[in-house]
Amino acid sequence: MKGYSILASVLALVIISSVGCAQQEKSSQSAEKTVKSQILQVDTIPTLNATKLELTKQYCLENYGVASYKLDSPKIVLVHFTVIPTLEETVAYFQKDSIESSRTNISKFSQMNVGIHYIVDKDGSIYKLVPDTVIARHAIGFNHVSIGIENIAKDAADLTPAQLESNVKLIAVLKERNPGLEYLVGHHEYNDTSLAHYKLFLAVDESYKPHNKPDPGPKFIADLREKLKAEHNLTFMK
Ligand SMILES: [Zn+2]
């Protein structure tokens, strides 16, 4: 966050505990469980205001049939990459209230700008833009049940090991806070009607449909699932 003027102060320090691997001694064959504490630092970049909340409420009424901006019980963690190459440009994009009119395929359904709950920068730094309890517009038909994570990257090859690590830690913390999170979905697979998460799809206007997305790509999401299982014993449905 060095040199980044819009940033608000560091807010959330989340401590998670996990049971570490057992130290096994050959002689006694006894295993001693150790508890490791891990600190996840999340910096907050506020992007909400009264106008945006009103636009969100309107969006939810028009697209989900409920006049509320609240994300009550998230069920999906939905992972993306930005295509926009830097944190600064990405934040500037998300801070606008309204979507630009040139994005005709989505602007005709609502003036509400796209948004995201978390951004993970290339060095693994995590930023929170929208509270977990407020709906953000990042996945057509699934915003009413999903928490979104954007990774700063031009394409799949641009994603870094530090980003993978931070996604693992962040998702583990989100699961701890929201036990109802059952699905982990890549934006590239969100429109796959054969996957279990698709039963949560909701659209008042049936022409407002998910379309093919490249992000974050099969490798990143496969690595993420593998590490969540190996390091946190967490398995999500797709
Ligand atoms: Zn995406």
Q: For residue 217, how far is its CA from the centre of ligand 1 (angstroms)?
A: 10
Q: Where are the alpha helices (DSSP H) in the chain?
A: 50-64, 87-95, 104-107, 161-177, 218-232
Q: For residue 38, how far is its CA from the centre of ligand 1 (angstroms)?
A: 28
Residue 194 has pLDDT above 80, yes or no: yes
pLDDT-derived band of residue 29, with 50, 70 and 90 as boundaries?
A: very low
Q: Which two tokens stand for residue 224?
A: 């993420």
Q: For residue 149, how far is its CA from the centre of ligand 1 (angstroms)?
A: 9
Q: Is residue 73 part of a domain?
A: yes
For the residues of 220-238, what is the DSSP string, one character each? HHHHHHHHHHHHH----B-
- Asked whether the bond before 74 is cis by omega within 30 degrees of 0, the reply is no
Domain residues for the domain of 174 are 44-232
Q: For residue 59, how far is its CA from the centre of ligand 1 (angstroms)?
A: 19
Q: For residue 213, how far is its CA from the centre of ligand 1 (angstroms)?
A: 7
Query: Considering the chain, what is the average pLDDT of its residues?
Result: 85
Q: For residue 152, how far is its CA from the centre of ligand 1 (angstroms)?
A: 11
Q: Is residue 159 part of a domain?
A: yes
DSSP state, residue 75: -
All residues at 6 or more sequence positions from 127 whose CB lies less than 8 Å from its CB, including other chains = 1, 42, 43, 44, 45, 87, 91, 118, 119, 120, 121
pLDDT-derived band of residue 103, with 50, 70 and 90 as boundaries?
A: confident
Q: Is residue 16 part of a domain?
A: no
CA 86, chain centre distance (Å): 17
What are the tens digits of pLDDT across the range 30-54?
433 333 335 799 999 999 999 999 9
**What pairs with residue 40 in β-bridges?**
14
Q: For residue 140, how far is its CA from the centre of ligand 1 (angstroms)?
A: 10
Q: Is residue 13 part of a domain?
A: no
Q: Is residue 10 part of a domain?
A: no
Q: For residue 39, how far is its CA from the centre of ligand 1 (angstroms)?
A: 27
Q: Is residue 193 part of a domain?
A: yes
Q: Is residue 169 part of a domain?
A: yes
Domain containing residue 90: CATH number: 3.40.80.10
More confident residue, 137 or 13: 137
Q: What is the rounded distance in angstroms from the CA atom of residue 46 to the CA atom of residue 50?
A: 12
Q: For residue 221, how far is its CA from the centre of ligand 1 (angstroms)?
A: 13
What are the tens digits of pLDDT across the range 117-169?
999 999 999 999 999 999 999 999 999 999 999 999 999 999 999 999 999 99
User: Hey, is 23 helix, strand or coil?
Assistant: strand
pLDDT at 33: 36
pLDDT-derived band of residue 199, with 50, 70 and 90 as boundaries?
A: very high
Task: To the nearest 10°, report the CA torsion of 59, 63, 68, 70.
Answer: -90
Closest CA to 138 of 116, 160, 107: 116
Identify the top-confidence range among 13-27, 94-108, 121-135.
121-135
User: Hey, is 57 helix, strand or coil?
Assistant: helix
Q: For residue 160, how far is its CA from the centre of ligand 1 (angstroms)?
A: 17
Look at the chain and report how many structural domains it folds into. Answer: 1
pTM of the model: 0.84
Q: Is residue 98 part of a domain?
A: yes
